[in-house]
Amino acid sequence: MSPTNAGVWCLERGTEGYPPALLELGDDAPERLNGCGSERLVRELAFDETVTIVGSRHPSSYGLEVAEGLGNLLAAAGLTVVSGMALGIDAAVHRGALAAGGPTVAVLGGGPDVVYPRSERRLYERLVASGAVVSEVPAGTRPGPGCFPRRNRIMAALGKMTIVVEAAQPSGSLITAEQAQGLQREVGAVPGRVTTRVAAGTNALLADGAAFIRDAQDVLDRLLGVGISDARRAGPSLDPDLARVADAVEGDATSPDAVALATGMGPGDAAVALARLELLGYLRADAGGRYARTTLRIPEAATTLTP
């Protein structure tokens, strides 16, 4: 595909509309910010309501689920979600934000009109249609070595907070976190399994004192103050049997057999309950048929089961 200049706009440093947050990079602030998609979104970027989420290109399904959920709920809460459109976590974050119809900005390593990675072309098109993509390099530039660490400083500068979902050690996501720290920005990390390689970096960040991010609510409490905004949408109320099954799934029972074992139900009844919860939006199943909880909150009345 030959790159085109159609639809590319540019914000120059020192002119009106250039994101003030970037000026904090000092001499290292990009001369110009080239973009595609909504120029207005970038011009009106509110620093206090912008959050950067990054992570591994080889995430686990847990990481993807968390990333998509964060993107979705934070965008739904009105924050602007910034990420890098890379495979894995970054793409999941954008997808989640787009699904919520919320504003989201991708910072690219190459020109703003160069789709990289190519397999994310559909995502790129959606971003241009209802969000924005920006880059400091001119239109048509293919990303080369060195582009991405440079790109990371822009992401770190744009967000009031930078959250890492999954990162091995060392990794580009950790570079972003370091740069955010250098800019006195808050850094958060999502905890992972201590035995998993893709969680080594995030767990190390937590050990070093990064904010502990379990869900979107943790982010909102940090950014806006505790109790200002409730992230999780509540679902319909559940009868006690269904609530018990949802509880079992949260307790790592992912198949009908495991749920049956955990709750004492028959496997057929467990399957029915799982299907009902899936229909209500409380569960999601992967292609292999294994269930996991979604971020949908169970209303209080139904959760007071355990004596």
Partner 1 sequence: MLATTRTFSLLGVEVREVHVEVDVCQRGLQTFSLVGLPDAAVRESRERVRSALENSGFKFPQHRITANLAPADLRKAGPSFDLAIAAGLLVASGQLPAERLDGVVLAGELALDGSIRPVSGALAMAEAARRLGVRAIAVPAANGSEAALAGVPRVVPLERLDQLPLVGTDEQPPDPPPFELSLNGAAPNAPDLSDLRGQPYLREALEIAAAGGHSLLIVGPPGAGKSLAARRLPSIMPPLTRSDAMEVLRVASACGPLGRNGLSVRRPFRAPHHTISTAGLVGGGSPPRAGEVTLAHRGVLFLDELGEFSREALEALRQPLEEGTVAITRARGAVELPCRFMLVAASNPCPCGRGEGSGECECQPGSMRRYRAKLSGALADRIDISVAVDRPTAVEMGANGGADSAGVRARVAAARERQERRLGPGRCNADMDLAELRFAARLTRAAKRTLAQGHAQLGLSGRGHDRVLRVSRTIADLAASERIDAEHVARAIALRRRGAE
Residues of the shown chain interacting with partner 1 in the complex, contacts defined by CB under 8 A: 57-62, 87-88, 119, 193, 195-197, 254-258, 260, 266-268, 270-272, 274-276, 278-281, 285-290, 292
Peptide bond preceding 191 in cis form (omega within 30 of 0): no
Long-range (24+ apart) CB contacts under 8 A made by 170-176 are: 170/201, 171/56, 171/201, 172/54, 172/148, 173/54, 173/55, 173/56, 173/89, 173/201, 174/201, 174/205, 175/149, 176/52, 176/54, 176/152
Q: How far is the CB of 304 from partner 1 (least distance, A)?
A: 25
The total of other beta-carbon atoms located within 10 Å of residue 271's CB is 16
How many whole angstroms separate alpha carbon 67 and alpha carbon 94?
9
Cβ-based nearer residue to partner 1, 101 or 266: 266
Cβ-based nearer residue to partner 1, 182 or 289: 289
Q: How far is the CB of 224 from partner 1 (least distance, A)?
A: 30
Q: How far is the CB of 278 from partner 1 (least distance, A)?
A: 7
Q: How far is the CB of 225 from partner 1 (least distance, A)?
A: 34
Q: What is the residue-wise DSSP string for 193-205?
A: -TT-GGGHHHHHH
Cβ-based nearer residue to partner 1, 266 or 299: 266
Cβ-based nearer residue to partner 1, 101 or 182: 101
Q: How far is the CB of 270 from partner 1 (least distance, A)?
A: 8
Cβ-based nearer residue to partner 1, 123 or 274: 274
